[in-house]
């Protein structure tokens, strides 16, 4: 396993990590989660990503139960969670949903600590930007959570470059804890934000990246070339919004063209896609997801392909995917 610094921070993360979005509770119970987390840990994975909103808090409960069962030394692993959407969204839900105000942040993080059975959390993220809360209030609230010992580092997820820079500058001006990481979507068909919009932030403020959806929700596995298979993410009722993208004819044709490239390197298209994302030196860790142990092992097989991502291989991949990338 490769380990990489989280931007300019001293924390080091495994190049491949494990996330719980969609899978935990919906497809993976506590027993299976513990089994897969143990296999990942044995392979060198030290970073496990979660979010308050995943499965309405149950994802954190499952990961927390697995961590308690596994009993690893606390310094050996990193756990993150993310906040914005809220859990109690019924009715008017003022100050309970879609906000990063101070009142909601403290309560949300306290809930995660209880569900995960941890204190502190290693990383906490603002899951989206909040245009209705002043940036200085959000930054101060996140910094204070670190001062209070509830978290060690904080960052953002799916924020614009301007929003990240504004948050960093507010923190720097006041001597508060600055954001150190962004968690964006990044895969062969979704690249512009990571490769262009954030370009100056890596050196200017030392931004680290923990990227999500390296397989484009499964599109880059090739499983959707003949439609939406039963039992897949695209077949889930709460994932219906993904179906048009997963069955996009041009992108599925591109996936088919990547198969011989992957085969020449001794891997699958899925492993090729994960290795491609991990080969970006700006990426601290690529968050992968799995609903089965075999799928986890397949994802981890991408490690062998990272060093094979030569300029020539990348050029071949680029020729197939660049025109379809957003």
54 in catalytic set: yes
Q: Mapping DSSP to helix (H, G, I), strand (E, B) and coil, where does residue 283 land?
A: coil
* Closest listed residue to residue 258, CA positions, set 312, 228, 309, 220: 220
Helix (H) / strand (E) element for 81: namely: strand 78-83
For 3-54, where are the E strands, in sequence order? 3-5, 12-14, 16-19, 47-49
Query: DSSP of 228-281, one letter per residue?
Result: --TTSGGGSGGGGGGHHHHT-HHHHHHHHHHHHHHHHTTS-HHHHHHHHHHTST
CA distances from 122 to 11, 208, 241 (A): 9, 14, 32
Catalytic hit among 54, 83, 186, 224:
54
* Interatomic CA distance for residues 321 and 64, integer angstroms: 39
* Interatomic CA distance for residues 140 and 28, integer angstroms: 36
Q: How many residues does the chain have?
A: 326
Active-site residue list? 54
């Amino acid at each position: 396993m490769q380990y990489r610094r989280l931007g300019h921070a001293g924390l080091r993360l495994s190049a491949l990590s494990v996330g719980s979005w969609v899978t935990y509770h919906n497809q993976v119970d506590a027993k299976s989660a513990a089994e897969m987390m143990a296999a990942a840990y044995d392979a060198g994975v030290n970073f496990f990503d979660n979010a308050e909103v995943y499965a309405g808090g149950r994802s954190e409960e499952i990961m927390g139960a697995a961590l308690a069962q596994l009993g690893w030394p606390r310094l050996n692993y990193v756990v993150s969670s993310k906040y914005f959407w809220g859990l109690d969204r019924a009715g008017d839900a003022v100050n309970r949903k879609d906000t990063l105000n101070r009142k909601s942040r403290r309560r949300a993080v306290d809930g995660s600590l209880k569900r995960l059975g941890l204190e502190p959390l290693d990383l906490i993220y603002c899951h989206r930007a909040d245009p209705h809360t002043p940036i200085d209030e959000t930054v101060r609230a996140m910094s204070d959570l670190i001062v209070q010992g509830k978290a060690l580092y904080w960052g953002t997820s799916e924020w614009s470059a301007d929003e990240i820079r504004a948050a960093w500058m507010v923190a720097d001006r006041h001597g508060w804890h600055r954001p150190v990481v962004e968690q964006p979507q990044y895969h062969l068909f979704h690249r512009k934000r990571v490769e262009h919009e954030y370009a100056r932030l890596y050196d200017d403020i030392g931004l680290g990246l923990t990227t999500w959806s390296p397989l484009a929700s499964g599109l880059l596995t090739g499983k959707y070339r003949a439609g939406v298979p039963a039992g897949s993410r695209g077949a889930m009722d709460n994932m219906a919004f993904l179906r048009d993208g997963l069955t996009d004819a041009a992108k599925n044709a591109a996936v088919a063209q990547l198969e011989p490239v992957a085969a020449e390197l001794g891997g699958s298209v899925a492993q090729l896609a994960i290795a491609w994302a991990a080969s970006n030196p700006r990426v601290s860790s690529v968050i992968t997801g799995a609903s089965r142990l075999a799928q986890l092992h397949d994802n981890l097989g991408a490690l062998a392909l990272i060093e094979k991502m030569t300029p020539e291989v990348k050029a071949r991949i680029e020729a197939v995917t660049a025109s379809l990338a957003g």
